[in-house]
Amino acid sequence: MTNVAFQSNLTKYAELIVRVGVNVQENQEVFITGAVDQADLVRLVAEQAYLAGASNVHVDWTDDRLSRLKYEKAADEVFTQYPEWETAKRNSFVERNAVFISIVSSSPDLLSGIDSQRIANFQKAAGQGLQAFRRATQSDKVSWTVVAAAGKAWASKVFANVSEDEAVSQLWEAIFKAVRLHSDDPVKAWDEHNATLHTKAQALNENHFVKLHYTAPGTDLTIELADKHIWVAAGSENQNNVAFMANMPTEEVFTVPLKSGVNGYVSSTKPLSYGGNIIDNFKLTFEAGRIVKVEAEQGQETLQKLVDTDEGSHYLGEVALVPHESPISQSNILFYNTLFDENASNHLAIGSGYAFNIDGGKKMSSEELAENGVNASITHVDFMIGSAEMDIDGIKSDGTIVPIFRKGNWAF
Ligand code: ZN
Ligand code: ZN
Q: Are residues 166 and 21 in the same domain?
A: yes
Q: Does residue 189 form part of some domain? A: no
CA 29 to chain centre: 23
pLDDT of residue 90: 97
CATH code for the domain in which residue 46 is found? 3.40.1830.10
Spatial distance between the Cα atoms of 129 and 126, rounded to a whole number of angstroms: 5
- What is the whole-number distance in angstroms between the Cα of residue 100 and the centre of ligand 2? 17
Nearest ligand to the C-alpha atom of residue 317:
2
Nearest to 306 by CA among 116, 35, 85: 116
Q: Does residue 240 form part of some domain? A: no
Residues forming beta bridges with residue 348, ordered by sequence position: 319, 383
- What is the whole-number distance in angstroms between the Cα of residue 145 and the centre of ligand 2? 13
Q: Are residues 395 and 285 in the same domain?
A: yes
User: What is the tally of structural domains in the chain?
Assistant: 2
Q: Are residues 159 and 214 in the same domain?
A: no
Q: Are residues 9 and 146 in the same domain?
A: yes
- What is the whole-number distance in angstroms between the Cα of residue 27 and the centre of ligand 1? 31
Structure-derived torsion over alpha carbons of residues 146, 151, 155, 157, reported in degrees to the nearest 10: -90
Helix, strand or coil, per DSSP, at residue 227: coil
Q: Are residues 154 and 257 in the same domain?
A: no
Nearest to 343 by CA among 211, 223, 214, 177: 177
Q: Are residues 165 and 29 in the same domain?
A: yes
Nearest ligand to the C-alpha atom of residue 341:
1
- What is the whole-number distance in angstroms between the Cα of residue 165 and the centre of ligand 2? 31
Tell me if 393 sits within 8 A of 213, measured CB to CB. yes
- What is the whole-number distance in angstroms between the Cα of residue 30 and the centre of ligand 1? 24
Q: Are residues 48 and 124 in the same domain?
A: yes
Spatial distance between the Cα atoms of 236 and 243, rounded to a whole number of angstroms: 6
Dihedrals phi, psi of 233, to nearest 5 degrees: -150, 150
- Confirm whether pTM is higher than 0.85: yes
pLDDT of residue 138: 85
Sign of the CA dihedral 329, 331, 335, 339? negative
Spatial distance between the Cα atoms of 274 and 111, rounded to a whole number of angstroms: 10
- What is the whole-number distance in angstroms between the Cα of residue 163 and the centre of ligand 2? 33
- What is the whole-number distance in angstroms between the Cα of residue 84 and the centre of ligand 1? 29
Q: Does residue 389 form part of some domain? A: yes
Q: Does residue 185 form part of some domain? A: no
Instruction: Report in angstroms the alpha-carbon separations of 37 from 56, 177, 326.
Output: 22, 22, 30
What pLDDT tens digit does each residue of the chain (412 aa) get?
Answer: 678 999 999 999 999 999 999 999 999 999 999 999 999 999 999 999 999 999 999 999 999 999 999 999 999 999 999 999 999 999 999 999 999 999 999 999 999 999 999 999 999 999 999 999 999 998 899 999 999 999 999 999 999 999 999 999 999 999 999 999 999 999 999 999 999 999 999 999 999 999 999 999 999 999 999 999 999 998 999 999 999 999 999 999 999 999 999 999 999 999 999 989 999 999 999 999 999 999 999 999 999 999 999 999 999 999 999 999 888 998 889 999 999 999 999 999 999 999 999 999 988 999 999 999 999 999 999 999 999 999 999 999 999 999 999 999 999 8
- What is the whole-number distance in angstroms between the Cα of residue 157 and the centre of ligand 1? 23
- What is the whole-number distance in angstroms between the Cα of residue 153 and the centre of ligand 1? 24
Say if strands 232-233 and 219-225 run parallel, antiparallel, or are unpaired: unpaired
Q: Does residue 224 form part of some domain? A: yes
Q: Are residues 278 and 331 in the same domain?
A: yes
Q: Does residue 183 form part of some domain? A: no
Domain that residue 360 falls in: 200-232+249-410
Three state DSSP letters for 60-83: EEECHHHHHHHHHHCCHHHHCCCC
Nearest ligand to the C-alpha atom of residue 232:
1
Q: Are residues 97 and 219 in the same domain?
A: no
Q: Are residues 274 and 147 in the same domain?
A: no
Nearest ligand to the C-alpha atom of residue 134:
2
Nearest ligand to the C-alpha atom of residue 316:
2
Residues forming beta bridges with residue 350, ordered by sequence position: 316, 381
User: Ligand 1 being an ion, which residues bring their Cβ within 5 A of it?
Assistant: 252, 320, 342, 382
Nearest to 120 by CA among 273, 275, 272, 271: 275
Which residues contact residue 385 at a Cβ distance below 8 angstroms, ignoring those fewer than 6 apart?
214, 216, 219, 266, 267, 268, 269, 345, 346, 347, 348
Spatial distance between the Cα atoms of 313 and 128, rounded to a whole number of angstroms: 13
Q: Are residues 144 and 92 in the same domain?
A: yes
Which amino acid is it at 268?
A: S
- What is the whole-number distance in angstroms between the Cα of residue 165 and the centre of ligand 1? 31
Which residues contact residue 351 at a Cβ distance below 8 angstroms, ignoring those fewer than 6 apart?
309, 312, 313, 315, 316, 317, 375, 377, 378, 379, 380, 381
- What is the whole-number distance in angstroms between the Cα of residue 347 and the centre of ligand 1? 7
- What is the whole-number distance in angstroms between the Cα of residue 343 and the centre of ligand 1? 8
Q: Does residue 195 form part of some domain? A: no
Q: Does residue 190 form part of some domain? A: no
Q: Are residues 149 and 289 in the same domain?
A: no
